[in-house]
Structure 1
Amino acid sequence: MSSSVASADARPGGGLSRRMIFLLALTCGVAVGNLYFPQAVSPLVASGLGVSPDSAALVVTAAQFGYAAGNFLLVPLGDRLPHRPLIAVLLGVTGIGLLGAAGAGGLPGLFGASALVGVTTVVAQVIAPMAAGLVADDRRGAVMGTLMSGSVGGILLARTFGGMIGEWLGWRAPYLVAAAVALCLATALTFVLPATVPTSRQPYPALLAEPLRLLRREPGLRRTCVYQATIFGGFQAVWTGVALYLTGPEYGLGAQAVGLLALVSAATMVSAPHAGRQVDRRGSDPVSLAVMIGTLASAGVLAFGGLGGMAGLVALAAGTLLLDVALQAGTIANQARIFALRPDARSRINTAYMTCSFLGGSTGSWLGAAAYGRFGWTGVCALLAVLAAVGLTRYLLHRPGGAAETSEATGDITGNAEAKSRS
């Protein structure tokens, strides 16, 4: 382990106070929320700029693609640059991008500003590795759970915030408010974030290539990426399918029903810290096993949504809640596992992990739409069960003392030796 990481981990009290962890969770929620409040605002953008709803919806797509680019291009810099200025600058540029979006006179300008916001609002993916390096090992899961609660809260509240402010004051108002919050957080964190020392001196092109090398060298990272890609893929498949199902002939409900069903996820704000404490107490692998089993169970519960009527709606609510809890718990366990692999390369490891997660989610969304179109809601539930079974099979192949375990342990030793030689 590099001396800089060791000194950070050795800070009194684990390195981060509860007040600081709360501020970081708030920052994660604000950053993630910047990707979601435009979804509620896009109809207002269409009427305000005099364009079609389909064209206005591309504003959200621009932000999402920007976010994917930011994960690849900027998150690895968390190992190369001090976290305090990096996070402050990213938030500051996000605020400027939001101001640009608020002042856009047409769709091209709004697209460009939204893409910039997407690229720089990857702050949550920079904060998580930083926090993992600033707390003691036995607190890492709890801290990851708190940060996850902040992100979930940002996702849930962003749409409500965007819709309410937009209805009252017009579509530009949510962008202005979000810009003010981002700039205030950038200013505050400039003064209160603890100082950190970069763990890598690699040039930027080498940083970009490192996540692929880490995937090849770290068996623990590879299996964790399989866990996340399969469960997140199933999650995206379900939410793609359930939107079609609720608004289709079986239920005949409006888009508001999908939004109300999504509010069920609010329970994960409470469950995420508990999952983090379980990771600290029992380890990541037992929690991952519970996640796989819980995801399989959610597929069975969701299948009862085919009953229709109130019984079907209750099954859909219960199943999506179970699936959401499983996803958040799995994400916390996965991040705790990967951040323990290579303390000198946490941001680069997180880049590899998030890229696999994004690919799994995108594929799951596509497969979910295809499964619904061909087999209906039963096909979506079957797809979720298959993806969970793939993750569970990969978990069972990782038996204590087995070949996979031995191979992974050898890989971890090799990776740690390489890290020491570089430091």
Structure 2
Amino acid sequence: MNLQLKEGAGFPDRLLYLLAVIAGVSVANLYYNQPLLEMIRQDLGSTTLAANHIALFAQCGYALGLLFLIPLADLYSRRRILLTDFALLIAALLATALAPDMTTLHVSSFVIGVCSVVPQFFIPLAAQYSRPERKNRNVGIVLSGLLTGILASRVVSGAVGEWLGWREMYYIAAVLMLLSAVVIFRILPDAQPNFTGSYGALMRSLFTLVRRYPLLRLHSARAALAFGSFLCFWASLAFKMAGEPFQAGSDVVGLLGLCGVAGAVTATFCGRYIARVGIFRFNVIGAVLQLAAWGLFLAGADHYLPIIAGILLLDIGMQCIQLSNQTTLFELCPSASNRINTIFMCSYFIGGSLGTLFSGAAWTLYGWPGVVGAGALLTFASLAITLFARR
């Protein structure tokens, strides 16, 4: 495929769906660890807090990757950046599979996080080169691929961990990244850089954008807190399910991730309703759904049905908040779409890292009720920002 993209000329559907698939396969690397944390802890003879930090380092790495790598797409060839990124990612996945101790896992998880930002190169591309009437739809398709990857990652890693072992999951992931790199080399079209100047000037322009657009600050902050609430749940679920009364393994934790398919389905169609329903209402609805989920996690902590229902609500609420905040930001400054996305997603994963950190501390100190309290608090903070901004 040898395409030249032109702004506003339209985005080929074939390319769009291929990028959505690669987005899902790539972002999955960030989430393979979640069902495996208890298994890794036992294998390496570590503490639950140290095992929780595997996910924390991955989230922190992702935030830094968003901050320092994604803006490069406004300056250099996306294809060259992505091929270098895939090479580092493959090396980090192999290092994880061979890790002899928790320290090595923390370092390799951090690098995996930094290099798993591949989908965030695709989202601004779809937004910038889509026709205006199809922009939200196309961004929603790429986001759906990303979300499907997150869901599938938990199911696949849980099953592989139970059947083959946690190390084998990372060998398989390395092979998938090698195949993805080959596909990217063959299909990714050329796109004109959006910025002329040095990398230093490019990074300084991020602060200019933050100062210039109050909506960018608002949307980033409330989405980040909601995502922190979302990951607060997943960061401790493996520890919860390993205890009484469930005594479940990584395969069950992975299967619970399938409940989040509701979030992926939400992203595919709700983009077209953002203008009709309104961003404010979308954020309120999303926060209320998340709070209802935390209520179910507390009241039905020892039963599968409330947990499953809570996962459905948590995922749908998260996608209502993310999609309504992210897609509308690309209209602020189309020529800086990669940098706008960098600021939003970097804030988003800082919030996710905060939620993961809170989850580990809450579990260590107060058990599952502490995790529920931490997650609900983050959702309340997101809702408060929305209500205060409206007022």
The C-alpha deviation readout for 1:70-101, integer Å capped at 9, x for no partner, is: 12221111111122222233223312332343
What is the number of equivalent residue pairs in this alignment? 382
Match of residue 115, structure 2, among 114, 117, 120: 120
Q: What amino acid is the match of 2:281? A: L
**1:391 corresponds to 2:385:** yes
Q: What amino acid is the match of 2:62? A: Y
Deviation for aligned residue 1:208: 2.5
Q: In structure 1, what is the equivalent of residue 204 of structure 2?
A: 209
Deviation for aligned residue 1:196: 0.3
Deviation for aligned residue 1:216: 0.9
Q: In structure 2, what is the equivalent of residue 88 of structure 1?
A: 83
For 2:35 and 2:59, locate their aligned partners in 1 and report how far apart those are by CA, in whole Å.
15
For 1:133 and 1:230, locate their aligned partners in 2 and report how far apart those are by CA, in whole Å.
27
For 1:265 and 1:121, locate their aligned partners in 2 and report how far apart those are by CA, in whole Å.
20
For 1:193 and 1:45, locate their aligned partners in 2 and report how far apart those are by CA, in whole Å.
36
Which structure: larger Rg? 1
The C-alpha deviation readout for 1:186-213, integer Å capped at 9, x for no partner, is: 1111121121011112312222333222
The sequence identity of aligned pairs, in percent, is: 32
Provide structure 1 residue ranges, at least 5 long, that are not aligned to the other structure. Answer: 1-5, 398-423
RMSD of Structure 2 on Structure 1 (CA): 3.5
Deviation for aligned residue 1:158: 1.5
Match of residue 309, structure 2, among 318, 325, 344: 318
Provide structure 2 residue ranges, at least 5 long, that are not aligned to the other structure. Answer: none
Deviation for aligned residue 1:387: 2.4
Mapped contact 1:289–1:395 kept (Cα < 8 A)? no
Q: In structure 2, what is the equivalent of residue 408 of structure 1?
A: none
Structure 2 CA distance for partners of 1:222 and 1:131, relative to 1, 3 Å: same
The C-alpha deviation readout for 1:374-403, integer Å capped at 9, x for no partner, is: 986885686366324313314524xxxxxx
The C-alpha deviation readout for 1:327-346, integer Å capped at 9, x for no partner, is: 11221222211111111211
Q: In structure 2, what is the equivalent of residue 293 of structure 1?
A: 285
Deviation for aligned residue 1:301: 6.1
Structure 2 CA distance for partners of 1:164 and 1:82, relative to 1, 3 Å: same
Deviation for aligned residue 1:298: 4.4
- Normalising by structure 2, what TM-score? 0.82
The C-alpha deviation readout for 1:201-242, integer Å capped at 9, x for no partner, is: 231222233322211111221221133134324434555687
The C-alpha deviation readout for 1:31-78, integer Å capped at 9, x for no partner, is: 211112134445555676x55365566544443332222122211111
Match of residue 23, structure 2, among 28, 42, 53: 28
SS in 2 for 1:37: coil
- Normalising by structure 1, what TM-score? 0.77
For 1:264 and 1:381, locate their aligned partners in 2 and report how far apart those are by CA, in whole Å.
19
**1:97 corresponds to 2:89:** no
- Mapping of residues 130-141 of structure 1, within 5 Å: 130-141=125-136
Deviation for aligned residue 1:320: 3.5
Match of residue 340, structure 2, among 324, 342, 349: 349
For 1:168 and 1:260, locate their aligned partners in 2 and report how far apart those are by CA, in whole Å.
14
Structure 2 CA distance for partners of 1:316 and 1:88, relative to 1, 3 Å: same
Deviation for aligned residue 1:148: 1.8
For 1:315 and 1:42, locate their aligned partners in 2 and report how far apart those are by CA, in whole Å.
23
Mapped contact 1:236–1:365 kept (Cα < 8 A)? yes
